[in-house]
Structure 1
Amino acid sequence: MKTTLMLTAVVLLAACNNPASDKTGATDTAKTTVAATPAGDPEKEWKPVDSATAMKAWMEYATPGEPHKAMAKGAGNWEGETTMWMAPGAPPMTSKSSCVSKMAMGGRYDVTTFSGSFMGQPFEGMAIMGYDNSKKAYISTWIDNMGTGMMHMEGKADASGKVITMTGKMTDPATGRECDVKEINTFIDDDHHTMEMYGPDPATGKQYKNMEIKFTRKK
């Protein structure tokens, strides 16, 4: 029902914003829709798919695979040793943290909640990581109590499957600009992994390593 209402709203909005529909009715509306499709661009042209092919694709898209099984190995309680650098060459700041990872949605996503401290203030965050079967890529989102936005990242594993590098963008509240960020997760064994974050140097805008967390599974 909700999907039907959303589709109805989209159709009504398109009709209201289509000048031809005010005078000529449904026939001209259809012509306008066809004309709006760029001709000769295979990436943008609509390609019909039969129902059997569509169903097979959706089943493959929805079925957890080996990358999801690998993520599931990270489920559990972890302790973290965090090192941060506010600028290149700046003295490091260290702190302790902890996190809990759980697989959700039938083993499709790794949901991790973090708790610790940042510059003497309580810190909490949450990451959701998955593997998109269609994109053949890892995807993640991050939120925390030090902001009001979301960070989205995407990337792939190396040949060993033990190093996942993801890139994305985040908003710099000081300038309002979007800046490039990078995250590298290295899985040493089932009980140890590290996460490195890279962001822009406040002075030059060039990327530098601004955080590293060494995780150890709680026994």
Structure 2
Amino acid sequence: MAKSKLEQSLADGAHKLLTGLVGAWTGTTKTWFEKDVLADESPMTAEISTLYDGRFISYDYQGSLEGKAFEGKMIIGFDIPYQRFSASWIDTFHMGTQIMLSSGDSGLIGHDGFAILGSYGSPEYGAPWGWRTELKIVNADEIIFTAYNISPEGEDAKATETVYSRK
């Protein structure tokens, strides 16, 4: 019997890449508020689990920024019909009461990660800013989440970088 598209993706596609991230992770997060000016470096922990038979993963993390605790959650999936990664992101620091939706039409970056693009802002601050999140899978036991702020004029600057090792 032929495999469904999801079964095939879980066996050797994007969903296999995502479910390979499942587990407990520990690492260090660097944060920049100004281009090339490191503002903070703090420990971070994360738990990645599957949702709905491997259709999605939940990336739940806890850390601190300038001594103040925060936590966040990102639900990440791969949209088979449109061949793109997508995510929803909330946290207790960056997002306030907003939910950022991101997607990446470019698909896999090789077979070692992905990049997704969202935006954030507030009417009181003018045009929204972009936010690009990249996941780089170094190997089965090391991953790097990097995020970039993108100004309304299109200039990008590294905002956060978390290097994780599997616990």
Same fold (TM over 0.5): yes
Query: What TM-score, normalized by structure 1, do the two folds share?
Result: 0.66
Aligned residues: CA RMSD: 2.1
Aligned residue for 1:157?
108
Instruction: Report how far residue 162 of structure 1 moved.
Output: 0.6
Map 1:1-219 onto structure 2 (within 5 A). Answer: 60=5, 65=9, 66-146=13-93, 147-155=96-104, 156-158=107-109, 160-172=110-122, 175=125, 177-200=127-150, 206-218=155-167
Question: Helix, strand or coil: the match of 1:78?
Answer: strand
Deviation track 1:150-175 (CA, whole Å, cap 9, x = no partner) reads 111111212x2113111121125761
Q: Would you say how many aligned residue pairs link Structure 1 and Structure 2?
A: 157
Unaligned runs of 5+ in 2: none
Instruction: Report how far residue 200 of structure 1 moved.
Output: 3.7
User: What is the rounded CA distance, in whole Å, between the counterparts of 1:126 and 1:175 in structure 2?
Assistant: 25
User: What is the rounded CA distance, in whole Å, between the counterparts of 1:179 and 1:163 in structure 2?
Assistant: 23
Deviation track 1:179-211 (CA, whole Å, cap 9, x = no partner) reads 111111110100001011100469x77211111
User: What is the rounded CA distance, in whole Å, between the counterparts of 1:119 and 1:201 in structure 2?
Assistant: 24
Q: Is the 8 A contact 1:88 1:201 kept in 2?
A: no
Deviation track 1:43-72 (CA, whole Å, cap 9, x = no partner) reads xxxxxxxxxxxxxxxx64x65612112211
Report which of the two has the higher share of strand.
2
Q: Is the 8 A contact 2:130 2:151 kept in 1?
A: no
Structure 1 residues 192 and 79, CA gap change in structure 2 (3 angstroms): same
Amino acid in the other structure paired with 2:139: D
Structure 1 residues 173 and 114, CA gap change in structure 2 (3 angstroms): farther
Q: Is the 8 A contact 2:27 2:162 kept in 1?
A: yes
User: What is the rounded CA distance, in whole Å, between the counterparts of 2:163 and 2:31 in structure 1?
Assistant: 12
Identity percentage of aligned residues: 24
Higher relative contact order (CA 8 A, sep 6+): 2
Amino acid in the other structure paired with 1:145: T
Structure 1 residues 133 and 205, CA gap change in structure 2 (3 angstroms): closer
Instruction: Report how far residue 110 of structure 1 moved.
Output: 0.5
Aligned residue for 1:10?
none
User: What is the rounded CA distance, in whole Å, between the counterparts of 2:38 and 2:123 in structure 1?
Assistant: 23
User: What is the rounded CA distance, in whole Å, between the counterparts of 1:78 and 1:84 in structure 2?
Assistant: 18
Question: Helix, strand or coil: the match of 1:81?
Answer: strand
Instruction: Report how far residue 92 of structure 1 moved.
Output: 3.8
Query: What TM-score, normalized by structure 2, do the two folds share?
Result: 0.85
Question: Which of the pair has more CA radius of gyration?
Answer: 1
